[in-house]
Amino acid sequence: MAYWLFKTEPDAFSINDLKNAPKQTSMWDGVRNYQARNFMRDGIKAGDLVMIYHSSCKHVGVAGIGEITREAY
């Protein structure tokens, strides 16, 4: 099992958006960095844990922890 850090701006996608999503799952898209995209495509496996990190907001930091439910597609 690996651990990952997913950074997001809460006005674009927040931990609350994930909590309110159907089955509390969502695909992660909009990754602009090629190295990060390759890590997501090749390295992240189902069962890995992820920390959801909020940036560009009043309370910067880890907002919650999630689990990868499906590998890249």
Residue 12 lies in a domain: yes
pLDDT per position as a tens digit, 48-65: 999 999 998 888 999 999
Residue 73 lies in a domain: no
What CATH number is associated with residue 16? 3.10.590.10
| pTM for the structure as a whole | 0.80
Secondary structure of residue 36 in the 3-state scheme: helix
Q: What is the number of structural domains in the chain?
A: 1
pLDDT, residue 27, reads 87
pLDDT over 90 (residue 69): yes
Residue 72 lies in a domain: no
Decide if 30 contacts 40 (C-beta within 8 A).
no
Among the listed residues 20, 21, 22, 40, the one whose alpha carbon sits nearest the alpha carbon of residue 30: 40
pLDDT, residue 46, reads 95
Residue 8 lies in a domain: yes
